Amino acid sequence: MKILRTPDDCFKNIKDYPYQPHYTVVKTHDDCDLRIHHIDEGPKDGPILLAMHGQPVWSYLYSRMIPYLVNAGIRVIAPDLPGYGKSDKPSAREDYSYQRQVDWMNQWLVKNDFSKLTLFCQDWGGLIGLRMVADNGERFDRVAMGNTGLPYSPDVPDAVVEEIHAFREGPTKLTITSMAKQVRQMNGVGGVDPYASIRKFAYWQKYCWDTVNPPAGIIASTQMEKRNKPIRALELLMENIGLGSLSPFRSSVSNAYEAPFPSPAFKMGVRAMPSQVPSIPDQSLQAQEKAWTFFSTFEKPFLCVGAGDDPITNGFEKIFLKKVPGTKGQPHAMIGGGHFFQWRKAKELSQVLSDFIHINL
Determine contact, residues 163/172, Cβ cutoff 8 Å.
no
At position 61, the amino acid (one-letter code) is: L
Give the number of residues written for the chain. 361
Selected catalytic residue, list 95, 103, 123, 135 = 123
- 349/122 Cα distance (integer angstroms): 12
- 46/339 Cα distance (integer angstroms): 28
Selected catalytic residue, list 80, 95, 103, 310 = 310
| Relative orientation angle of helices 196-210 and 176-183, to the nearest 10 degrees | 160
Cβ-count burial of 110 within 10 angstroms (0-12 exposed, 13-18 middle, 19+ buried)?
middle
Q: At residue 86, what are phi and psi to the nearest 5 degrees?
A: -90, 0
What ranges in 176-267 are assigned the alpha helix state H?
A: 176-183, 196-210, 216-222, 229-240, 252-258
Q: At residue 244, what are phi and psi to the nearest 5 degrees?
A: -60, -40
Selected catalytic residue, list 33, 339, 355, 358 = 339
Closest CA to 32 of 55, 8, 3: 3
Residue 49, strand partner residues: 76, 118
* Known active-site residue 135: no
* Known active-site residue 40: no
- 6/307 Cα distance (integer angstroms): 32
- Catalytically active residues are 123, 310, 339
